[in-house]
C-alpha cells in the first residue's frame, strides 16, 4: 500500500495552493479588487471566444477598481510558444504589473508562462522539466489573478504549465511552486457558457487529475483527501452538468470538484495517462480532456494490479463496488466504471469534430514517437505500475482499435 504520510525518503512536504480562492456565484465581480492588491496595469489574457463572452465584465470590474487593462486574446487551445512570446512582448512593452487570465487551462497556462519570462531570463522552452527538472523556475512570477471559466483543468490551483511547441508538434511541461496563481476566481456562473462538448472534456480532465493523483507513487495524506473528495463529487455532478448546463448546483459542485482535483495532482502528481495524453493530443490535435478520456480506462486496467487497494477505493467512490467486494475484484471494476461514465457523456463521439484521426497504418507509424515522448515527459515514472516503452505502444494501439478508429466499439456505441 502506498504511503499516506511523508516518509523519511520523501522528507518534508510542501502543500501548494493559491494564496486566495474566491468561490461562488458573483465572485467574478471581485476581480478588480484583487488585481488592485497587486498592481495598477493588468495584462488580460484570454481566447477571443471567451473574451467575447466575459471580457467586458472583466474590464469593467478592473476599471471600477482603477486598474488599466491591456488585452491579449490570441490564445489558442493548447497554448503555443508563439502565444506565450506574443503575450509576453505585450506585457513588456505596455509595462504591466499584474496578470489577469480569463478562461480555462489554455489562458491560465499562457499567463503563468508570461510570468516565467517576466522574471526569469531565457526562452520558455528552457524551463521544461525535461531540461530544467521539477522546480526549474528560479524566480517567483508576477502577481496572477486566474478567472476560471471551466470545470476541469484545475490550472488556477497548480504549479504546472503545459505548452505546445508549434515547430515540433510536441508538448512539454513546466512545474514550479513559483507559478501558482495568487488568486483563483471560481464563479460557477461563468461555466454556463461552456458547450456540452467542452463540459465533457473538462469534466473528464478533472476526474483524471483526481484519479492519477490518488494512485501516484508520490501520493500522501493531503492530496489523497483532496482526490477522494473530488472523485466522489465529480462522479455525481459531472453527468448532471453535462445533461443540463443550466443546473447551477451541478456546475458549482463541478467547480469545487475540479479545484480539489487540481489541488490533489499539483501536490502529488499526474502519471501515465497524462504522459500519453500529451503526445496523443499533439499528434492528433485532440483536446487535452478528450485525450485523457480516450486513455484513462485502459491505463487504469493496466495499472490496477500494482495498487489494488487504491483502485478498489476508486471503484467504491464511483459506486461500482462496496466494502464487501475484495480489493482485487473491486480494483478491476474501477476502469469499467470510468469507461461507463465516458460512454454516458458520449466522449468518443466528439472525435468527428474535435480531432484528426488518421488511418491505422499512419497511426502505427507515429506510435513509437508518441510512446517515446510519453516516457520522456517523466509522468509515467509516477505510475503505480511502471510501463516499458513497448507496453505504452501496446496501450496506444489498443486505444486506436477500441476508441479512435471510426468503426471502433466506443465510437460506434455512442451518439451525440
For residue 78, is pLDDT > 90? no
For residue 6, is pLDDT > 50? no
For residue 3, is pLDDT > 90? no
- Give mean pLDDT, residues 398-412: 94
Reported as type and span, the H/E element at residue 165 is strand 160-165
Domain limits of the chain? Answer: 20-191, 194-413
Structural contact between residues 24 and 54, judged by C-beta atoms closer than 8 angstroms: no
| Residue among 294, 247, 236, 285 at smallest CA distance from 414 | 294
Percentage of the chain beyond pLDDT 90 is 87
For residue 4, is pLDDT > 70? no
Extract the C-alpha cell encoding 65.
477598481
Domain 20-191 bears CATH identifier 3.30.230.10? no
Q: In which band, very low, low, confident or very high, does the pLDDT at 8 lie, cut at 50, 70 and 90? A: very low
For residue 117, is pLDDT > 60? yes
Give the pTM.
0.90
Structural contact between residues 108 and 148, judged by C-beta atoms closer than 8 angstroms: yes
Q: In which band, very low, low, confident or very high, does the pLDDT at 163 lie, cut at 50, 70 and 90? A: very high
For residue 157, is pLDDT > 60? yes
Lowest mean pLDDT among 15-19, 90-94, 302-306: 15-19
Residue 82 class from Cβ within 10 Å (0-12 exposed, 13-18 middle, 19+ buried)? middle
Lowest mean pLDDT among 35-44, 379-388, 407-416: 407-416
Instruction: Read off the pLDDT of residues 273-293 as tens digits, 9 standing for 90 and up.
Output: 999 999 999 999 999 999 999
The predicted structure's pLDDT at residue 166: 83
Reported as type and span, the H/E element at residue 172 is strand 170-175
Where do runs of H (alpha helix) occur along 268-388? Answer: 272-284, 288-303, 308-317, 327-344, 360-377
Residues 6 or more apart whose CB falls under 8 angstroms from that of 362 comprise: none
Instruction: Read off the pLDDT of residues 219-274 as tens digits, 9 standing for 90 and up.
Output: 999 999 999 999 999 999 999 999 999 999 999 999 999 999 999 999 999 999 99
Percentage of the chain beyond pLDDT 70 is 97
Instruction: Read off the pLDDT of residues 314-366 as tens digits, 9 standing for 90 and up.
Output: 999 999 999 999 999 999 999 999 999 999 999 988 999 999 999 999 999 99
Query: What region does 95 belong to: left with phi over 0, alpha with psi -120 to 50, or beta?
Result: left
CA trace torsion 266, 128, 102, 290 (10° rounding)? -70
The predicted structure's pLDDT at residue 1: 38
CA trace torsion 393, 294, 314, 317 (10° rounding)? 180
- Mean of per-residue pLDDT scores for the chain: 93
The predicted structure's pLDDT at residue 160: 93
For residue 207, is pLDDT > 70? yes
Determine the angle formed by the axes of helices 221-243 and 308-317, rounding to 10 degrees.
40
Beta strand 170-175 with 20-23: parallel, antiparallel or unpaired? unpaired
If you classify domain 194-413 with CATH, what class do you get? mainly alpha
Q: 218: how many CB neighbours lie within 10 A of its CB? A: 18
Extract the C-alpha cell encoding 263.
489541488
Q: In which band, very low, low, confident or very high, does the pLDDT at 113 lie, cut at 50, 70 and 90? A: very high
For residue 37, is pLDDT > 70? yes
Fold agreement (20-191, 194-413) = no
The predicted structure's pLDDT at residue 10: 56
Amino acid at each position: 500500500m502506498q504511503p499516506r504520510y511523508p516518509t523519511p525518503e520523501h522528507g518534508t512536504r510542501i502543500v501548494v495552493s493559491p494564496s486566495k480562492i474566491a468561490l461562488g456565484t458573483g465572485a467574478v465581480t471581485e476581480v478588480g479588487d484583487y488585481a488592485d492588491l497587486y498592481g495598477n496595469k493588468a495584462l488580460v489574457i484570454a481566447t477571443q471566444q471567451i473574451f467575447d463572452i466575459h471580457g467586458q465584465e472583466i474590464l469593467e470590474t478592473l476599471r471600477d477598481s482603477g486598474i488599466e487593462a491591456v488585452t491579449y486574446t490570441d490564445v489558442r487551445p493548447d497554448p503555443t510558444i508563439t502565444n506565450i512570446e506574443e503575450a509576453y512582448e505585450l506585457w513588456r512593452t505596455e509595462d504591466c504589473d499584474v496578470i489577469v487570465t480569463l478562461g480555462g487551462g489554455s489562458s491560465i497556462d499562457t499567463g503563468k508562462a508570461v510570468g516565467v519570462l517576466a522574471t526569469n531570463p531565457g526562452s520558455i522552452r528552457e524551463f521544461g522539466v525535461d531540461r530544467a527538472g521539477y522546480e526549474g523556475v528560479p524566480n517567483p512570477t508576477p502577481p496572477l489573478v486566474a478567472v476560471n471559466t471551466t470545470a476541469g483543468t484545475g490550472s488556477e490551483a497548480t504549479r504546472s504549465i503545459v505548452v505546445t511547441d508549434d515547430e515540433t508538434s510536441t508538448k512539454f511541461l513546466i512545474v514550479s511552486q513559483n507559478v501558482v496563481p495568487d488568486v483563483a476566481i471560481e464563479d460557477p456562473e461563468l461555466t454556463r457558457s461552456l458547450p456540452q462538448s467542452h463540459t465533457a472534456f473538462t469534466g473528464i480532465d478533472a476526474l483524471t487529475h483526481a484519479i492519477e493523483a490518488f494512485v501516484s507513487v508520490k501520493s500522501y495524506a493531503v492530496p489523497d483527501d483532496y482526490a477522494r473528495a473530488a472523485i466522489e463529487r465529480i462522479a455525481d455532478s459531472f453527468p448532471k452538468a453535462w445533461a443540463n448546463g443550466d443546473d447551477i448546483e451541478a456546475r458549482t459542485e463541478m467547480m469545487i470538484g475540479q479545484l480539489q482535483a487540481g489541488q490533489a495532482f499539483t501536490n502529488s502528481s499526474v502519471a501515465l495517462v497524462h504522459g500519453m495524453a500529451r503526445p496523443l493530443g499533439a499528434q492528433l490535435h485532440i483536446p487535452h480532456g478528450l485525450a485523457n478520456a480516450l486513455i484513462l480506462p485502459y491505463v487504469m486496467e493496466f495499472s490496477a494490479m500494482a495498487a489494488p487497494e487504491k483502485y478498489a477505493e476508486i471503484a467504491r467512490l464511483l459506486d461500482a463496488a462496496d466494502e464487501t467486494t475484495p480489493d482485487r475484484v473491486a480494483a478491476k471494476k474501477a476502469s469499467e466504471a470510468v469507461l461507463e461514465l465516458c460512454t454516458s457523456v458520449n466522449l468518443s463521439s466528439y472525435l468527428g469534430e474535435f480531432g484528426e484521426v488518421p488511418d491505422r497504418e499512419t497511426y502505427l507509424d507515429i506510435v513509437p514517437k508518441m510512446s517515446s515522448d510519453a516516457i520522456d515527459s517523466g509522468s509515467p515514472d509516477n505510475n503505480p505500475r511502471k510501463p516499458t516503452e513497448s507496453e505504452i505502444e501496446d496501450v496506444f494501439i489498443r486505444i486506436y482499435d477500441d476508441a479512435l478508429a471510426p468503426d471502433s466499439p466506443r465510437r460506434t456505441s455512442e451518439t451525440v
